Amino acid sequence: MEFESEFKERTKRQKIRRIELKVISWILVIAIAIAAGYFFVYFFLEKASVYDSSMNPALSSGDKLLIEKLSYKISDPERFDVIVFKQGKGEHEFTNVKRIIGLPGETVKIVDGKVYINGSVLDEEINTEYIAVPGTAAVNILLEENEYFVLGDNRNESVDSRSADVGNIVRDDIIGKALFRLNNFSIVSSLNKKSE
């Protein structure tokens, strides 16, 4: 009888130990998943907001964007990418959203409402209005090795690279590429294309 009682006690302890090990393994799996998710979001994704109408009609004030940060670590930004970048310094730093128009090494100029890249009219992928104010781009702007010229899609309401307050965007200030509009889960690159 004592042997039977001891056997039951040992079996009970073994069951408890197996349950404890399962609980510990599940906690470990959950902790690793949370850490991996945090790592992924911290290094590869970020959320940003649109604060003005400078990207209308593609993006509106109040839109929430999912930014993908990895691609610009392994490749260069491309013309027409919608980017999120840092603007201002210190406590006055904020994020801004614009479309890349000019690439490093290119010359940008706006004449008679049209954008010229290296002397040729830019055939834009999006529908844009006539540019009434060329700003600093009324004369040739030569982009340095790490500089980008950006414009808002709402050209006559946007404060962008044509303004001395914004100027050319330095590569290090680019946070990432706008990937999705979270309000309605639309892919940003497909917004506001020219109709065929």
Q: Residue 140's CB: how many other CB atoms inside 10 A?
A: 11
* Cis geometry, peptide bond prior to residue 104 (ω within 30 degrees of 0): no
Distance CA(52)–CA(29), nearest Å, equals: 42
For 42, the token pair is: 């911290």
State CA 91 to chain mean position distance. Answer: 21
177: annotated active-site residue: no
Residue 146 contacts residue 106 (beta carbons within 8 Å): no
Please list, residue by residue across 40-63, b when 16 or more beta carbons sit within 10 angstroms of its beta carbon and e when fewer do. eeeeeebebebebbbbbebbeeeb
Pairing of strands 141-142, 82-87: unpaired
- Which is catalytic among the residues 98, 158, 161, 177? 98
Please indicate whether residue 73 is annotated as part of the active site: no
Catalytic residue chosen out of the listed positions 54, 158, 161, 177: 54
Q: Which one, of 80, 61, 103, lies nearest residue 190 by Cα?
A: 80
Q: Which residues are catalytic?
A: 54, 98
